[in-house]
Amino acid sequence: MSHGFEMKPAQVAEIEPGMPAFLMPLARLMLWVNKAMVIVGMLGLLAASIILTYSVVGRFLFNLSTDWQDEAAVFCLVGATFLTGSFVQSLRGHIGIEAVAGILPKGVNKFRFALIDLFSLAFCAFFTWKSWTLFHEAWVDGQTTSSTWAPPLWIPYILMSLGMTLVSIQLALQSVARIRVLFLGAGK
């Protein structure tokens, strides 16, 4: 039975058209890593849901202290969010503004997409660098959260750093392929 819309089939991550031969091994590795990170992300979401359910039930039925549950769930969610970001980028599934896509000529749109990839790469590279500096500071200074459980802050920072590193690598690969197609016409 249909209610006026049909779900699109699931997208499959694949290597960008126009990927130079010397980057193909890295592109294939990223496909594998992205699939592995999706599994890690699913496990993180499952762990967070189990932890939060335990927290609610434990508080209601047994009046248990739930100091650790909130932070553990947040750490799982941070890991799931950042570690799967590269997979989402490989599908080009991040939010994009398409309001002008229908107005601009095809050639201008290709240039706009390449420019957006480069700006996204610059932002994510900066975010990656900052994430690694936060991880380093937390590790060296032994920073912990302010709760009574006080887990080390390097845990969410390493998850964020690794995730943003993967996103930056994915964007770099996609940028090279898109620019190569734009200027050389390769991989059409």
Question: Are 155 and 138 in contact, with CB atoms under 8 Å apart?
Answer: no
Token pair in block for residue 141: 């200074």
Question: Are 91 and 13 in contact, with CB atoms under 8 Å apart?
Answer: yes
Q: In the prediction, which pLDDT does 24 show?
A: 96
**SS3 of residue 91 by DSSP:** coil
Beta-sheet strands, E only, within the chain: none
Q: In the prediction, which pLDDT does 144 show?
A: 96
pLDDT of 75-112, one tens digit each?
999 999 999 999 999 998 776 667 777 788 888 888 98
Whole-model pTM: value is 0.88
Token pair in block for residue 182: 């734009």
The residues pairing with 152 across neighbouring beta strands, listed in sequence order, are 144
Question: Are 77 and 44 in contact, with CB atoms under 8 Å apart?
Answer: yes
Low-confidence ranges of the chain (pLDDT < 70): 1-10, 95-97, 186-188
Q: In the prediction, which pLDDT does 8 show?
A: 65
